[in-house]
A and B are shown apart, each in its own frame.
Chain A
Amino acid sequence: MYKFFASIRKEIQLLFSDKVGLSLLFGMPILLVFVITIVQDSAYKMVNENKISILISNQDKGKESKLLLHQLDSSGLFNITYNNQLNSETFKTELINRKILTGLVIPVDFSKKLKEKAKSVSNGMLSQMGLIEAKKQTKITIPSLKFYHDPILMNNYCQSIEGMFNSYLSIVENKLMLESIYDEVGIEGGVNSLEKELRNDQVKIETIVAIKSETKVNPNSSQHNVPAWTIFAMFFMVTSLGGNISKEKLNGSFMRLKTLPTSFSLMLLSKMLVYLIVAFLQIIVIFSIGVFVFPYINLPQLNLPHSLLPVFVVVLLTGLSAVCYSILVGILAKTQEQANGFGAISIILFAAIGGVWVPTFVMPEYLQMVSKISPLNWCLEGFYTLFLRDGNWVDLLPVITYLVSFICICILIVIIRLKSKKLL
């Protein structure tokens, strides 16, 4: 044990002497968790809480366009700037100059054409029912609304705004249609009460998070980002531990160890233990920030699962996976540059395909298959099972099986390599 403790002391001293490595292990993930959570949370707020700035030029004089604008205004989702003097030529320039992200131009005769269309449709419908006499139908083309947007806006964001327009247009169109039908059959004043009734009995959408238990889990940017970037940071120890091992291999320390009355596995075990403690410290530091600091800066608080034992097991397996992978890279690399370069790039790739940056379900099917080889994907899956789905041991079984296999494979390769070099 004396030699083991000496080895541990040396590893700790080496770790503290590597200031860059330490900042990569602790500073980088803290920064990443803050930045990515703030960015994602702001994006969420931009769509759901912040008003969308919009420039509107209404070329139409009718009441339907006014009703549409009233709907947009009363929705509370838009911050509307009106300028009806702008034509389609000057509108774009004004939008760019005023740095407004979206714009809408309602064309001349929009209301008139909309009315004509409603009249034509209601007439066709009622004549088919034999309630009125059919009139000669003429093809009516409604001039389209023009939606402008800044090129930086993502497609899905634009699509959701278009969806809002369509929903408000439907209200206007439905009202017109009802008015037209009532008008055709000669009933007066019934539209408003019918419309009110229709609105009151609208189908509501209830959102339910699909988890097994009854515990209230609130999926938010913290629940994803805190575990995801902590896993990334844990695996990024490859640059410190992997580089450290390849350096020892090259500077002759390994060689000297071969002449000493000690076992090489003792040295590896001490490295594993020290870096496993580092992994646990990373978790404690970053999760504490998620739990205690995030609420103070208006970010959603990280909610820990009700049972901490499965969390401990997942953290332990994640830490061991990161440590064993780092040792493997360090042992196989021929130079420190190789260990650092390959180690860092491989972790970035594993993170990318493993769902740390974007969820795997948005990836093409073949990439979703490939993601299964990434240890980061399985570690993340373990945390998702606990943090988002409130899963149990049975749900964790595939994760535990994969990670234990991954750790065993890494250790096996390291042993084979060291045996071939006569170091074990």
Chain B
Amino acid sequence: MKIDLDHIEINAVSKIYLNQQIPSLKDFTLKIPSNTKFGILGPNGAGKTTLISIMCGLIEPTYGEVQFVKKDNSIVLGKELKKSIGFVPQEYAFYQELTPVQNLKYFGALYGILKKDLAQRIEDVLEILGLKSVAHKKIHTFSGGMKRRVNLAIGIIHRPSILFLDEPTVGVDVQSKFAIIQLLEKINLDKTTIIYTSHHLSEAQNFCDQIAFIDKGQLVCSDDTQQLLNLHKSSNLEELFLQLTGQQLRD
């Protein structure tokens, strides 16, 4: 059952990690409307993973807060929030010694999907992601692209209202990348808000309808993708990003 989300509010969020002097996020404020394909874009080390980790509840912000606001202005909290969130981390966060079916049965059960529905959902998701033929094979024998698809399958098995993806297409072949993007498009049509980080700006330009540029832990700009390009008279996001943040090399 999907929640009636209106938007996600990131209010003046800062994050300073232990033993670090420079904040990874500094006074970050952003509003993400529901049902969008929202890209959080920036170079390596810009603070994208920190931001998405705070939004998922993996880490606590040093200052500020993230709120998931429903259409009736109530805030989604606790178990209801966790049930509504899907998370696809950069790492292969599953058991490689097990098969995709075994992993999906485990994580599906933890999401509270009843046994009678789970089998069908597993079959569907494996079919969509082209993993049906390897459903009962140990994942450690899979290619990087297949492992990324399993990672995604686990994140969407409970049909979340909000799906967070941290660099979901890093290190995958073109076919796998295409399959992943196709599926994300389909999920978004099914009223799932997709929040996605990437440093592949061309991929984001094609996929995201809204974006936020982040650099050195700060928000550079945020808007509808096409409007931003038009406003700054840029032909693509790479050109726009360089225009906004300069050509200085990042650490």
Contact = CB atoms under 8 A, between A and B. Distances in A.
Interface stretch (A10-18, A129-137, A152-160): A10-18
B95 interface: yes
Nearest to B93: A252
Contacts of B57: 258-259
Interface in B105-126: 105-107, 109-112, 114-115
Contacts of A17: 97-98, 138
Interface of A: 2-3, 5-7, 9-10, 13-14, 17-18, 248, 251-253, 255-262, 422
Contact of B107 (A2, A18, A248, A260): A260
B144 to A, nearest CB: 14
Interface of B: 56-60, 79, 82-83, 85, 87, 89, 91-98, 102, 105-107, 109-112, 114-115, 138, 154
A300 to B, nearest CB: 41
A262 B94 CA distance: 16
Contact of B56 (A6, A251, A252, A259): A259
A10 B106 contact: yes
20 contacts: A2-B109, A2-B114, A3-B109, A3-B110, A3-B112, A6-B105, A13-B98, A14-B95, A14-B98, A18-B97, A251-B91, A251-B95, A253-B93, A253-B95, A256-B94, A257-B110, A259-B56, A261-B110, A261-B111, A422-B59
Given A251-B91, A252-B92, A262 B110 contact: yes
A414 B109 CA distance: 25
Contacts of A260: 82, 107, 110-111
A251 B95 CA distance: 8
A317 to B, nearest CB: 30
A248 B106 CA distance: 14
Nearest to A10: B106
What DSSP secondary structure best describes chain B's contact surface?
loop
Contacts of A7: 106, 110
Contact of B85 (A18, A259, A422): A259
A134 B66 CA distance: 115
Given A17-B138, A261-B112, A422-B60, A256 B107 contact: yes
A4 to B, nearest CB: 9
Given A10-B102, A258-B57, A251 B82 contact: no
- Closest 8 pairs (CB-CB, A-B): A252-B93, A6-B109, A252-B91, A261-B82, A17-B97, A256-B93, A10-B106, A259-B87
B82 A253 contact: no
A255 B112 contact: no
A260 B82 CA distance: 6
Contacts of B87: 256, 259
Nearest to A252: B93
Contacts of A6: 105-106, 109-110
B133 to A, nearest CB: 20
Greatest chain A CB density within 10 A among B59, B93, B138, B154 is at B93
B93 A251 contact: yes
Nearest to B82: A261
B102 A251 contact: no
A259 B94 contact: no
A255 to B, nearest CB: 6
B196 to A, nearest CB: 16
A262 B109 CA distance: 10
Contacts of A3: 109-110, 112
A51 B16 CA distance: 77
Greatest chain B CB density within 10 A among A7, A18, A248, A251 is at A251
A253 B151 CA distance: 11
A25 to B, nearest CB: 16
Contacts of A252: 89, 91-94
Contacts of A261: 79, 82-83, 110-112
Contacts of B102: 10, 13
A248 B103 CA distance: 13
Contacts of B89: 252, 255-256
Contact of B97 (A2, A9, A14, A255): A14
Nearest to B112: A261
Contacts of A2: 109, 112, 114-115
A251 B92 contact: yes
Nearest to A250: B91
